[in-house]
Structure 1
Amino acid sequence: MIEQRVATGTGIGFGADVRSKDNSKTLSELFTQVEPEDLVKYGLIPEFIGRLPVTATLTELDEAALIQILCEPKNALTKQYAALFELENVDLEFREDALKAIAAKAMKRKTGARGLRSILEAVLLETMYELPSMEEVSKVVIDESVINGESAPLLIYSANESQAAGAE
């Protein structure tokens, strides 16, 4: 509906500009141009639309925005999980490739920022459960292979001996 309204020209006749489908705008670009009459055509009743003083549009989150959400706010998910691990006197480290893999997984699932917690919970649940009974663990490192389910988190022991161990 929006694309038809904002399109210039008729696209019919000898003098018409030929538009390819590749030149069509993305949904995010089109949503920025939504007008109240588009909402009426979509099926919302005019009385409801009249009660909305401002129509605001949102854009999809990209991978960089999801990584930013994971790391930067004061209550970021990575900081929350690090605080949980700190209760057991264990440092939690997310490598850069792990953060990218988490964001990519959320984009693939189309869950956006809300899906980040479920991904982290699935990855860290077993380790969080087993950690209190483990001796001498000082650090847990999460990389891309852990996020993709290819390996267990890397457990670093305080006796200066590093080994990859599953939380089994």
Structure 2
Amino acid sequence: PEQSYIQVSTDNILFICGGTFSGIEHFIARRLGQKVIGFGGTANEFDTETTALKNRDLLIPHLDQKDLIDFGLIPEFVGRLPVIAPMLSLTKEEIIQVMTQPKNALVKQYQAYFDMDGCKLEFTDEALADIAAIVLERETGVRALRALFEELLLELRYDLPNRKDSNRFVITREIVTARLTPTGKRKGLKDRQKTA
């Protein structure tokens, strides 16, 4: 309340808004799927019940300002966004690229972490493919990758300083299955209960 106000010129500022807008495909389908002819007519290719749930990527290119407003954004805000650029969902291959290729990719970050302890961390191609498949299955996108990597490598990371038996660790499909899938977690829990 006792702050002085600072005037900011927005002449050379570009605002970019982004988000997943989960469920917005239903609004697009509703808008596009209103063409039903008579009592015996059938909905067009954008039938709300079938297509919107199964084919988000088919619907998302048809996004417009009305859909954003129907979704819940206020018209005054939407009106100030002159360009809408909807993006398609990432493929399994693209998720693998996100994990491995950028300068600060998660795989490189964890390899650097292990390297600080004099260890080498490797991932098989199958393990990376399975991690990408889990991301697609959970429908969380790449924003959940760090949580998956933490879950996958947590025990190993904290045991690292005490491990003198090996300095090379290879993450395989079997390890991913055991640590990140419900069946693997249940099996691990049963094994721990047997030894207790």
Q: TM-score, normalised by structure 2?
A: 0.65
How many Å apart are 1:43 and its aligned residue? Answer: 4.2
- Could you say which residue in structure 1 is the equivalent of 2:78? 49
- 1:2 aligned to 28, 33, 55, which one? 28
The one-character-per-residue Cα deviations of 1:17-60 (angstroms, maximum 9, x if unpaired) are: 77576984622221211222333344433322211111121222
How many angstroms apart in 1 are the aligned matches of 2:113 and 2:72?
47
- Cα RMSD of the aligned pairs, angstroms, is 2.7
How many angstroms apart in 2 are the aligned matches of 1:12 and 1:59?
34
What are the ranges of 5 or more consecutive residues in structure 1 without an aligned counterpart?
152-168
How many Å apart are 1:72 and its aligned residue? Answer: 0.7
| Aligned residues between the structures | 150
Contact kept, 8 Å, 2:99 with 2:107, in 1: the verdict is: yes
- Could you say which residue in structure 2 is the equivalent of 1:11? 37
The one-character-per-residue Cα deviations of 1:111-139 (angstroms, maximum 9, x if unpaired) are: 21111111111111111111211225220
Q: Secondary structure at the match of 2:102?
A: coil
- Could you say which residue in structure 2 is the equivalent of 1:80? 109
Instruction: Report which of the two has the higher share of helix.
Output: 2
Asked if residue 70 in structure 1 is aligned to residue 99 in structure 2, the reply is yes
Moved more, 40-49 or 62-71: 40-49
Moved more, 28-37 or 74-83: 28-37
- 1:112 aligned to 141, 159, 168, which one? 141
- Could you say which residue in structure 2 is the equivalent of 1:159? none
- 1:133 aligned to 162, 179, 182, which one? 162
How many Å apart are 1:2 and its aligned residue? Answer: 2.6
- 1:97 aligned to 126, 140, 155, which one? 126
How many angstroms apart in 2 are the aligned matches of 1:34 and 1:83?
41
How many angstroms apart in 1 are the aligned matches of 2:68 and 2:141?
24
Contact kept, 8 Å, 2:152 with 2:176, in 1: the verdict is: yes
Contact kept, 8 Å, 2:135 with 2:142, in 1: the verdict is: yes
Q: TM-score, normalised by structure 1?
A: 0.74
How many angstroms apart in 2 are the aligned matches of 1:123 and 1:39?
37
How many angstroms apart in 2 are the aligned matches of 1:123 and 1:33?
38
How many Å apart are 1:76 and its aligned residue? Answer: 0.7
How many angstroms apart in 1 are the aligned matches of 2:112 and 2:60?
39
Residue 47 to residue 65, structure 1, CA distance change in 2 (3 Å): same
Amino acid at match of 1:11: I
Q: Secondary structure at the match of 1:141?
A: strand
What are the ranges of 5 or more consecutive residues in structure 2 without an aligned counterpart?
1-26, 179-183, 186-196
Contact kept, 8 Å, 2:35 with 2:44, in 1: the verdict is: no
Instruction: Report which of the two has the higher share of strand.
Output: 1
Identity, % of aligned pairs?
Answer: 35
Residue 44 to residue 139, structure 1, CA distance change in 2 (3 Å): closer
